[in-house]
């Protein structure tokens, strides 16, 4: 408790800033609903300022997107992650989140130089020749400069911005608290586990902050593509690389959006599209470790129709069980098998209650739209987006690791069609799906799975007498306990308490009215305006109680 209080006090200036931004963009109701204004001075005054009618006229999605942009890098990146969650948000929200960009001005090299000297432990110019003070790239977390080593090798220095970590850590703590409050206050949001989404985002962003982690990602991809001449991964110079600095080989060529220049230089765009698709599908289905953001800015085209992948700060991981589910879904989509799609979605649903008949009907309608449609007219990305829309309509939240995968596949198809207007994902997908299915049902794989299942069963059976004995001993000692985790039980108790108080006040008011009426019929005693004083006093108290009760109910209803 003391630690939480210290955290709140430490982040209070940033909380005030976040409240001001949200209110300025017409999101004051959200601030009140989440209780962010409580305990923050001047927050109440902010909430009661006259509204900006121009802002209030905007759609909620636009206001949220503008607020995230103003709140800075952490919230911009969080919005970019939400842009992948088409299972949670309708299309207009996804479109707004997709507009979020890190338009961050570069830091002057004079301010970076002391930090770079501290990282290397010596003057950077003693290691790097022609260190260019003008950045070739500038993002919220890092800035990139070109240089040459003493042997003439061209490299780039990707350097973390000084002082960025404390700011991002503060934002992550606040974002986590907002997510917890959303689970507490909004019943509809609870099933989507906002706190879990915030935790996954924090884990991903902290990995991105560690530039040596990105370097390790690059080395793993290099091993996975060893022997693939068409794919290039920049080499890491580990002697200079650390948590704050990533030094890697400079890759020339043409950027992913310089298609005309690449074609003019003799590169075959059709070959590039095919190689890019095969590379990403290998990452996903074979390696289980994929580049999560293969957009044109992270791709370069080289001589000999080679493709270089850049910026491995955001990667996705797929364990074997998840890979099997993905293969089943992709195979069902490729074969237009509605039963296969339904089975995978139900497996992802877990314990969530689903109307299976309606789900099957919606999937059947979805597949009917693609019946007898030529392969060249099918957009695989559109199919994936429609599947996630069906999931959202049935309140099925996709596992977080799948959202990155779907985004990567949709981005990949878009990139492929930029290179080749006739590009089709399904023909590239089918051989990989077949390869995985053949490997899954090979004798060696079945034998390995059977052996693992047998060992699990034997372990369960061998431990059963011990577990039963422990259960019986606890029952004899009166130590047998059943823990129930009932969410919002404290809130429910408070509601019961308020209801009981109001009921008691109502009974007292009714008793005063009845008693006062009886007293007024008694002759004698002190009178006022021709009425018995005690009876008159009783009616006044009853009136006061009734007014208080009505006001309390009205205020409570307005607050809720």
Active-site residues, by number, are 293
Rounded Cα distance between 185 and 183, Å, is 6
For 307, the enclosing helix (H) or strand (E) is strand 306-309
CA distance 548 to 503: 13
Per-residue DSSP letters for 487-541? TTHHHHHHHHHHHHHHHHHHHHHHHHHHHHHHHHTS-SS-EETTEEHHHHHHHHH
Q: SS3 of 157, please?
A: strand
- H or E element, residue 142: strand 142-149
| Contacts for 537-545: CB closer than 8 Å, 24+ residues apart | 538/512, 538/513, 539/512, 539/513, 541/512, 542/509, 542/512, 542/513, 542/516, 545/505, 545/508, 545/509, 545/512
Q: Which residues contact 376 (CB under 8 A, 6 or more apart)?
A: 422, 424
User: What backbone phi and psi angles, to 5 degrees, belong to 278?
Assistant: -65, -35
Closest residue by Cα to residue 402 from 345, 354, 447: 345
E strand or H helix at 274: helix 269-281
Residue 89 contacts by C-beta under 8 Å, 6 or more apart in sequence?
82, 97, 392
Return the number of other C-beta atoms located less than 10 Å from residue 396's C-beta: 19
Tokens of 66: 């503008």
- Could you tell me if 525 and 221 are in contact, meaning their C-beta atoms sit under 8 angstroms apart? no
Classified as helix, coil or strand, 375 is helix
Q: Euclidean distance between the first and final Cα of the chain, in Å?
A: 28
CB-CB contact of 248 with 237 (8 Å): yes
Candidates 180, 205, 184, 185; CA nearest to 195 is: 180
Distances (CA, A) of 560 to 90, 295, 514: 26, 44, 34
Radius of gyration of the chain (CA): 32
Q: Are 155 and 250 in contact (CB under 8 A)?
A: yes
DSSP codes joined into one string, 284-298: IIIISEEES---GGG
Task: Name the residue with tokens 């902290």.
Answer: 206
Beta bridge partners of 249: 155
Question: What does each C-alpha distance from 82 to 61, 99, 284, 387 come to in angstroms?
Answer: 12, 11, 21, 17
- Buried b / exposed e across 487-500, counting CB within 10 Å, b at 16+? eeeeeeeeeeeeee
User: Residue 383, Cβ neighbours under 10 Å: how many?
Assistant: 23
């Amino acid at each position: 408790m003391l630690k939480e209080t210290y955290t709140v006090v430490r982040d209070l200036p940033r909380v005030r800033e976040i409240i001001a931004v949200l209110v300025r963009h017409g999101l004051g109701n959200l601030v009140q609903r989440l209780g962010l204004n409580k305990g923050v001075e001047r927050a109440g005054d902010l909430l009661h300022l006259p509204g900006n009618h121009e802002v209030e006229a905007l759609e909620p999605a636009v206001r949220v997107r503008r607020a995230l942009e103003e709140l800075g890098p952490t919230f911009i990146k969080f919005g970019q992650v939400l842009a992948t969650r088409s299972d949670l948000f309708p299309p207009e929200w996804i479109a707004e989140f997709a507009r979020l960009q890190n338009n961050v001005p570069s830091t002057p090299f004079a301010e970076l130089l002391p930090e770079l000297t501290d990282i290397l432990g010596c003057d950077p110019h003693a290691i790097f020749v022609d260190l260019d003070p003008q950045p070739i790239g500038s993002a919220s977390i890092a800035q990139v400069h070109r240089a040459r080593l003493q042997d003439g090798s061209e490299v780039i220095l990707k350097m973390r911005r000084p002082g960025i970590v404390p700011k991002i850590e503060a934002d992550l703590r606040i974002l986590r608290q907002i997510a917890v409050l959303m689970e507490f206050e909004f019943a509809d949001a609870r099933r989507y586990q906002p706190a879990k989404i915030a935790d996954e985002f924090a884990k991903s962003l902290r990995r991105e902050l560690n530039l040596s982690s990105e370097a390790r990602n690059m080395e793993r991809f290099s091993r996975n593509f060893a022997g693939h001449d068409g794919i290039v991964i920049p080499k890491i110079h580990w002697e200079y690389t650390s948590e704050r600095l990533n030094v890697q080989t400079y890759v020339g060529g043409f950027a992913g959006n310089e298609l005309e220049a690449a074609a003019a230089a003799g590169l075959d765009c059709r070959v590039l599209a095919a190689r890019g698709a095969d590379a990403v599908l290998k990452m996903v289905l074979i390696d289980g470790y994929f580049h999560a953001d293969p957009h044109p800015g992270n791709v370069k085209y080289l001589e000999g129709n080679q493709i270089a992948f850049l910026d491995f700060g955001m990667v996705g991981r797929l364990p074997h069980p998840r890979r099997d589910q993905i293969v089943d879904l992709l195979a069902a989509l490729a074969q237009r098998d509605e039963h296969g799609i339904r089975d995978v979605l139900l497996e992802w649903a877990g314990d969530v209650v689903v109307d299976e008949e309606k789900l099957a009907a919606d999937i059947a309608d979805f597949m009917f739209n693609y019946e007898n449609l030529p392969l060249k007219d099918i957009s695989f990305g559109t199919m994936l987006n429609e599947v996630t829309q069906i999931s959202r309509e049935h309140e099925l939240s996709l596992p977080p690791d799948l959202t990155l995968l779907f985004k990567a596949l949709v981005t990949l198809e878009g990139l492929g069609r930029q290179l080749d207007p006739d590009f089709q994902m399904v023909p590239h997908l089918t051989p990989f799906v077949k390869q995985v299915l053949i490997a899954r049902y090979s004798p060696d794989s079945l034998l390995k799975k059977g052996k693992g299942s047998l060992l699990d069963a034997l372990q369960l059976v061998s431990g059963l007498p011990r577990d039963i004995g422990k259960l019986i001993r606890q029952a004899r000692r009166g130590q047998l306990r059943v823990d129930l985790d009932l969410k919002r039980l404290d809130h429910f108790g408070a509601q019961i308490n308020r209801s009981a108080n109001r009921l008691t006040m109502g009974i007292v008011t009714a008793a005063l009215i009845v008693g006062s009426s009886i007293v007024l019929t008694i002759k004698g005693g002190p009178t006022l305006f021709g009425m018995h004083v005690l009876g008159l006093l009783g009616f006044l108290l009853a009136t006061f109680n009734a007014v208080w009760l009505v006001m309390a109910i009205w205020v409570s209803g307005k607050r809720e």
